[in-house]
Amino acid sequence: RELEVTKGYGMVEFREDLRKLFQTTGVRRKEVVLLISDSQIVNEGFVEDINSILNAGDVPNLFPPDEKDRIIGDCREYTASIGKPLTKDAVYATFISCVQQNLHCVLCMSPVGEAFRRRCRMFPSLINCCTIDWYLPWPQDALLNVAERFLGNLESVPEEVRGPLSGMCPVVHGMVEEDSDKFFSELRRKFYISPKSYLDMIQLYIKLLAERRAELSDQRDRFLNGLAKMAEVTTVIASAKEDLAVLEPVLKEKSASTEVLLKQVAVDKEEASKVEVVVSKEAAEVEEFAAGVRIIQEDAQKDLDEALPALNAAVSALNSLTKGDITEVKSFAKPPPLVQTTMEAVCVLLGRKADWDTSKKLLGENDFMEQLLNFDKDNIEAKRLKALAKYMAMEDFNPEVVGRVSRAAKGLCMW
């Protein structure tokens, strides 16, 4: 049985494993081999307990009193069968005797370093109660067979090279051993060369061989890729040269056409410069004209703003006229001068003859008011405006004066 040393494994766990071993070998009387290597000794107390087992077959205070009594009870029958007394000490001595017969301890320790020498001095049972097996160096034949076993199956190595390669491994190992002995004789420092070192050397060679082959394979692949790219570029260049030879006449023709076009563009540019000068001059004139138009527009807007209240008042006055007011004006046989003047002005705007008879007929028309309300004031003919000017120039032709004579005439005058 080999110890399972895990994280946190200490004296408590080691003593528990020893108790189980003692139960197996002493009570059930089964043969067990306890295998312990120096790498498993995480606490020097392990070596002290092993020293006790080797020396006396027992570990002091390994079992508490209750477990010891239970062991004595389990071994009582076997003790009686072999004819020994059944006292507690005799039964427990029989238990320890069974442990000594059935438990075999195997210690694997390396002589390298100070730990082995110190343990041998502190725990003499490791020397006195053990049979020491010294593992001697491998002979040359063994070293060669091991090398052939590991290197003989390398597919990446040619077969004619495998034999000399395997034969070289024992030579190198022997050279290292000689240098190690020389190192010890000169400097009194021991450098141990074990079979494990030989195996590590072979594994290191296999690893380095694989790494170097992989590196060379990568370099070869990059080289082949570079050659493939160069061949591809050469093909592209050759194709480009063929295309250039085909396109060269076309390029010359296009160059000549371009020169002609550039000359024409220069001529057009000169003409365009002249046109630009003319356009700039006209643009300045247009801007000046536009400024004058804006001034006129502002004056017209001002006049319109002043006229709109009067227009709205005239429309309101028309809407306030009744049929009786119209009849009142129409009933005049000889109307007052201001009433007649107002009606003549209305006739002028409506394109009628400016006299009283025409005015009476106009007042008698059923759609007289609609004609006034729907009159197109924005598109009055120039001759009508000229004819209307003499009425507008009269001092007494205003709504307030006319309103004193007739209410209906005042509304018409405002219109």
Mean pLDDT to the nearest integer, 98-109: 90
What pLDDT, on the 0 to 100 scale, is given for residue 192? 73
What pLDDT, on the 0 to 100 scale, is given for residue 30? 92
Report the candidate in 318, 316, 409 with the shortest Cα–Cα distance to residue 359: 409
Q: Determine contact, residues 360/330, Cβ cutoff 8 Å.
A: yes
Q: What is the mean pLDDT of the chain?
A: 84
Residue 303 pLDDT class (50, 70, 90 cuts): low
H/E stretch holding 292 reads helix 195-320
What pLDDT, on the 0 to 100 scale, is given for residue 320? 64
What pLDDT, on the 0 to 100 scale, is given for residue 220? 92
Whether 193 shows a pLDDT value over 90: the answer reads: no
The span from the CA of 143 to the CA of 351, in Å, is: 141
- The sign of the dihedral angle between the CA atoms of 224, 230, 232, 234 is negative
- The sign of the dihedral angle between the CA atoms of 158, 160, 163, 169 is negative
Mean pLDDT to the nearest integer, 129-146: 83
Residue 292 CB coordination number (10 Å): 9
The CA radius of gyration of the chain, in Å to the nearest whole number, is 67
pLDDT digit string, tens, across residues 68-96 = 899 999 998 998 998 888 898 999 999 99
Assessment of whether the complete model's pTM goes beyond 0.75: no
pLDDT digit string, tens, across residues 355-394 = 878 887 877 877 777 777 777 777 778 787 788 788 787 8
What pLDDT, on the 0 to 100 scale, is given for residue 312? 65
Whether 314 shows a pLDDT value over 70: the answer reads: no
pLDDT digit string, tens, across residues 49-72 = 999 999 888 898 889 989 989 999
The span from the CA of 183 to the CA of 202, in Å, is: 23
The span from the CA of 412 to the CA of 314, in Å, is: 8
Q: Bin 83: left if φ > 0, else alpha if -120 < ψ < 50, else beta.
A: left
Mean pLDDT to the nearest integer, 337-357: 81
Residue 309 pLDDT class (50, 70, 90 cuts): low
Mean pLDDT to the nearest integer, 181-210: 85
Q: Which range is most confident: 17-31, 178-192, 281-295? A: 17-31
What pLDDT, on the 0 to 100 scale, is given for residue 313? 64
pLDDT digit string, tens, across residues 231-257 = 999 999 998 888 888 888 888 888 888
